[in-house]
Every structure is written in structure tokens, then in C-alpha cells.
């Protein structure tokens, strides 16, 4: 909608309004406030975090002290190459490079300003050429989110809950100067009571993705699907942006998480087991023939496409590999998400896998690790990987779920939202998963948190400069 006049002084407008309280939104708000801005955060739910709080919270960055101590050689260029290759040329190279260039600073900021603690390890996930991923301690997005909330409280940043943004307010020059929202009754379909909030410098959209929005995705994903996202992960703020002619791109690009299981809801503990353990230390096998069929350290798009072509797929690791990771599986074993097997014969019977074929598959894999020979599927063997020889063996059924919406709003490298004519949409900024040019066709693991912190902080600074 458009308003011909600015709000009266009695309405006490904020300088900056941030929509969304995930990693990107709170990073933007904190950066804005630390640069002297008067900012408010609007969150549609009753608590902070959105999908950020249920993620694993891992962040990727090159040239860290941790890498140096382990002798890992990395660089901004190497991380940029990995992200561009994964994105299949659909990324905006300027935005992707900025994320890589400022990744180390964002990681350091999370430790020094937010006081986030990380595990004493450096992980590698599919598509990364070297280990550069850092896991919060404890392993959960809530670890960083709680620190961000504490920082907001310390800085006096207001986070308004049950604030459901309906549309944007524009002035006579089409500059975004505020939002219309329904407060405290987001489950009501009958209320027409609208609140207006105004911003003198800008509105930052950090409302997240839409990978659980079945209505929005019905033309993209024809069949039913499972998702790692909260069911409230939806596109209403994105659609409000589109209603004022904000440009979008790649809305049909949805990333699936290949490491999840149909035996639990959401991302779950099984997703962590697959992503952190099976990918590096184990193998993925087709139950029909007992054979490997993919590079377990391939990127998420490659893995998902390969797994979805098959009906029954499992991941396998052994006791020796599990001990090297330091993970405890009591909870997921008790719930039946992961199975334990005394030997390969029992494992094969449990899943109706041809036993001889399974043994041959594991023997060939073990020989490749032992002799450090070339893997037929392209998996690069690291020094910490060991043969799968020590029972018990642990398995999990694997089935991909929608995880991340790769497309979204078109922005420039400074987080300004562009309109459908390619011009800066004055007063409107965006950061995080709601944008669509950072990752292209596929996002690498741990790069979402990096993007959210880097571009969220950029948005916070640019909005207050506006």
C-alpha cells in the first residue's frame, strides 16, 4: 500500500524495523544497534529463532586459527570456488565472494561479541574441499540463538512477538517507510485489526525461507514431501515484498537435506548422525543390491538426486568410527532411529540386503581406505577415516527432506532489495534465506549461518546509514 505522507511525530517511528528473529535478523538488529541505530525486531511466533534455532548451528569460515593448528590450508578463494561450483553458476559472484571474504570476521564476531563456544574440531561436509566448518557446543542452533537473545537484551533491543507482517507501507516516492501487521492473534482468520509501524531509515526483511510452505510449493514439488523445517516456515513476507514489485529469482530451487530419515520428524538427531558421521566415516548403500552408488562427501544436490532414485537406502558406520567422532547414540538407539547390529550378517538380514554383495562392498571400501587408492565414486579419504571392520555396526534408513529455499529476493551486494526493473527498492533491505543469489543451485553445509551473520550485519549497517 502507499501513504502520501510520513507518519505524525506522535507515532514515534523507529529508525529500522527488522522482520524475523533468526540468525540474519538478530545479526542485523545487533549490528544496527551497536552502530547507534534505534531498531525493533518483529517475530511472528511466540519465541525467537525460526528454523535457525532448530538447525545444527554450524558455521563455515576459511583461514581460522583452528585450521592453522591442524595444518589445514584454506583461503577465501578456495571457499569461494567451492560455493560457486556447488551453485552451478547460479550464484551472484559478488554476493558469494562477500560472504567468503567476511566469513572469518563473522565467525570471530560470534565468539568475541556473542560469546558463542565451539567444539574443538573442524568438520568437512559434502562439497567443501577442506575442513572449514565449526560446530557450536552444545551442537544446536539454539546455542548461538540464546547468545544473540542475551546480546539483544543487553543492548535493549525490543523483540515483539506474535507480530504478523501483512504488507509494506510506502510513501509517495515508493520508498518503504513501514509495515502493517496483525499482533497477538496470528491464528485468527477473522481479525481485521491492523497495527502500523514506521521506520525512518529502512525495513530489513530476514523472514527466512519457504521450504515447508506446501501451498507456495505446490507447483514446484508435485508430490507430497517431508521437511526438516518448522511447519510455520512460509512465504507470506516474501509475497508481501512481491506485492510491491520486489524482484525474485530461482523460486523453483529447493534444497533437500539428503541425510535425514523417515523414521523421525524434521531434521532430528538422525539428520545429525547422517551429516556428521555417515558422510565422513561411513558409506551409503542401496538395500536392493547391497552396493554403494554415490560419493558420501558429494554435495547435497548430488546426494539427494542419487538417493531419491532408489527406494530403500541406509547409512552404515562401525564402532571404531563412532568412537573417533565422540558421539553418543543411546537416545537414538532407544528410539529406534538408529539400529545396532552385532555383525554384517545380522545387518543384511535386518534390511533384506544380499549378504555377499554387502560384504564385497564393504571390503572394497575398506581396501581403498587402507591403501589410500582412488575411490570409484570420488570420495576423498582423509587421515581420520578408518576401515569399517569393528562391530557393532550402526545403520539408519535415509530419506531426503526439503530443507532450504535457495531462491528468494534479488539484492545487491549491500543487501538493498531490487525491484523488477533492477533498481534499488528504497528503504528495503534483505538478508538470509529470504534472498536468492548467494548459493545458486545448491547450498554447502554450514554456509547458511555464515551468510546470515555476514549479510545480516551488512544489512544492519547499511540500513542505519540509509
- Around Cβ 22, how many Cβ atoms within 10 Å? 30
Q: How sure is the predictor about 192, in pLDDT bands with cuts at 50, 70 and 90? A: low
Cβ burial of 414 (10 Å; 0-12, 13-18, 19+) is middle
pLDDT at 185: 53
Class of CATH domain 9-253+403-465: alpha beta
Helix or strand run (H / E) with residue 91: none
In angstroms, the CA 281 to CA 120 distance is 18
How would you classify the pairing of strands 313-318 and 283-286?
A: antiparallel
In angstroms, the CA 17 to CA 177 distance is 9
Instruction: Tell me the per-residue pLDDT of 387-425, one tens digit each, with 9 for 90 and over.
Output: 999 999 999 999 999 999 999 999 999 999 999 999 999
SS3 64: coil
β-sheet bridge partners, residue 14 = 199
Note the pTM of the prediction, 2 decimals.
0.91
pLDDT at 194: 85
In angstroms, the CA 103 to CA 451 distance is 8
Instruction: Tell me the per-residue pLDDT of 307-322, one tens digit each, with 9 for 90 and over.
Output: 999 989 999 999 999 9
- Closest-CA residue to 202 (of 419, 22, 391, 425): 425
327-334 average pLDDT score: 95
In angstroms, the CA 342 to CA 349 distance is 12
In angstroms, the CA 116 to CA 105 distance is 14
248-265 average pLDDT score: 97
Instruction: Tell me the per-residue pLDDT of 208-224, one tens digit each, with 9 for 90 and over.
Output: 999 999 999 998 998 88
Q: How sure is the predictor about 6, in pLDDT bands with cuts at 50, 70 and 90? A: very low
Do the domains at 9-253+403-465 and 262-399 have one common CATH topology? no
The answer regarding whether domain 262-399 maps to CATH 3.40.630.10 reads no
4 has a pLDDT exceeding 50: no
In angstroms, the CA 189 to CA 171 distance is 28
pLDDT at 265: 94
Average confidence score pLDDT of the chain: 94
Do you find a cis peptide bond into 392, omega within 30 degrees of 0?
A: yes
Cβ burial of 173 (10 Å; 0-12, 13-18, 19+) is exposed
Query: Distance from first CA to last CA of the chain, Å, rounded?
Result: 22
84-89 average pLDDT score: 96
- Around Cβ 158, how many Cβ atoms within 10 Å? 12
Q: What are the start-end ranges of the E strands in 112-186? A: 133-134, 158-160, 163-170, 176-183
> By the 8 A CB rule, do 393 and 316 touch?
yes
In angstroms, the Cα distances linking 163 to 159, 235, 396 are: 10, 15, 40
How would you classify the pairing of strands 59-60 and 133-134?
A: antiparallel
Residue that the C-alpha cell 545396532 belongs to: 340
Q: How sure is the predictor about 196, in pLDDT bands with cuts at 50, 70 and 90? A: very high
Instruction: Tell me the per-residue pLDDT of 9-66, one tens digit each, with 9 for 90 and over.
Output: 335 689 999 999 999 999 999 999 999 999 999 999 999 999 999 999 999 999 999 9
81 has a pLDDT exceeding 50: yes
Where do the structural domains in the chain lie, given as residue ranges? 9-253+403-465, 262-399
Q: How sure is the predictor about 193, in pLDDT bands with cuts at 50, 70 and 90? A: confident
β-sheet bridge partners, residue 411 = 417
Residue that the C-alpha cell 593448528 belongs to: 69
In this predicted model, which residue has the larger pLDDT, 184 or 120?
Answer: 120
pLDDT at 367: 96
Task: Calculate the CA 53 to chain-centre distance.
Answer: 11
SS3 351: helix
pLDDT at 383: 87
> By the 8 A CB rule, do 457 and 429 touch?
no
- Closest-CA residue to 327 (of 281, 265, 264, 283): 281
How would you classify the pairing of strands 416-418 and 424-430?
A: antiparallel
Amino acid at each position: 500500500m502507499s501513504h502520501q505522507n510520513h507518519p505524525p511525530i506522535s507515532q514515534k517511528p523507529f529508525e529500522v524495523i527488522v522482520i524475523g528473529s533468526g540468525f540474519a535478523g538478530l545479526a542485523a538488529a545487533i549490528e544496527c544497534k551497536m552502530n547507534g541505530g534505534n531498531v525493533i525486531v518483529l517475530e511472528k511466533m511466540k519465541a525467537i529463532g525460526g528454523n535457525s534455532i532448530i538447525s545444527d548451528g554450524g558455521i563455515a569460515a576459511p583461514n581460522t586459527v583452528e585450521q592453522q593448528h591442524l595444518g589445514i590450508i584454506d583461503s577465501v578463494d578456495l571457499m569461494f570456488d567451492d560455493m560457486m561450483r556447488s551453485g552451478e553458476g547460479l550464484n551472484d559472484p559478488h554476493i558469494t565472494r562477500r560472504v567468503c571474504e567476511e566469513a572469518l570476521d563473522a565467525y570471530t564476531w560470534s565468539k568475541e561479541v556473542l560469546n558463542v563456544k565451539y567444539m574443538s574440531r573442524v568438520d568437512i561436509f559434502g562439497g567443501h574441499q577442506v575442513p572449514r566448518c565449526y560446530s557450536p557446543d552444545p551442537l544446536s542452533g539454539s546455542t548461538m540463538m540464546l547468545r544473540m537473545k542475551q546480546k539483544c537484551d543487553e543492548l535493549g533491543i525490543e523483540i515483539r512477538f506474535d507480530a504478523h507482517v501483512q504488507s509494506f507501507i510506502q510513501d509517495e516516492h515508493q520508498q518503504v517507510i513501514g509495515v502493517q501487521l496483525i499482533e497477538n492473534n496470528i491464528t485468527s482468520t477473522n481479525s481485521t485489526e491492523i497495527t502500523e509501524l514506521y521506520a525512518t531509515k529502512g525495513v530489513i526483511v530476514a523472514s527466512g525461507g519457504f521450504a515447508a510452505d506446501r501451498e507456495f510449493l505446490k507447483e514446484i514439488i508435485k508430490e507430497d514431501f517431508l521437511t526438516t523445517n518448522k511447519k510455520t516456515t512460509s512465504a507470506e513476507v516474501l509475497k508481501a515484498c512481491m506485492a510491491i514489485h520486489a524482484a525474485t529469482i530461482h523460486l523453483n530451487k529447493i534444497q533437500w537435506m539428503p541425510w535425514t530419515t523417515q523414521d523421525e520428524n524434521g531434521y532430528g538427531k538422525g539428520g545429525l548422525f547422517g551429516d556428521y558421521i555417515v558422510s565422513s566415516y561411513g558409506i551409503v548403500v542401496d538395500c536392493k543390491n547391497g552396493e554403494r552408488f554415490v560419493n558420501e562427501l558429494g554435495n547435497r544436490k548430488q546426494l539427494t538426486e542419487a538417493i531419491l532414485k532408489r527406494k530403500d537406502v541406509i547409512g552404515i558406520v562401525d564402532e571404531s568410527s563412532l568412537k573417533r567422532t565422540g558421539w553418543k547414540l543411546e537416545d537414538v538407539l532407544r528410539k529406534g532411529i538408529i539400529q545396532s547390529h552385532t555383525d554384517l550378517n545380522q545387518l543384511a538380514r535386518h534390511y533384506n540386503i544380499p549378504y555377499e554383495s554387502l560384504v564385497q562392498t564393504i571390503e572394497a571400501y575398506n581396501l581403498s581406505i587402507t591403501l589410500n587408492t582412488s575411490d570409484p565414486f570420488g570420495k576423498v579419504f582423509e587421515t581420520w577415516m578408518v576401515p569399517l571392520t569393528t562391530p557393532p555396526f550402526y545403520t539408519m534408513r535415509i530419506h531426503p527432506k526439503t530443507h532450504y529455499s535457495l531462491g528468494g529476493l534479488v539484492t545487491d551486494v549491500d543487501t538493498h532489495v531490487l525491484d523488477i526493473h533492477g533498481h534499488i527498492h528504497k528503504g528495503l533491505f534483505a538478508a538470509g534465506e529470504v534472498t536468492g543469489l548467494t548459493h545458486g543451485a545448491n547450498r554447502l553445509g554450514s554456509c547458511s549461518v555464515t551468510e546470515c551473520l555476514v549479510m545480516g550485519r551488512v544489512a544492519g549497517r547499511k540500513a542505519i546509514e540509509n
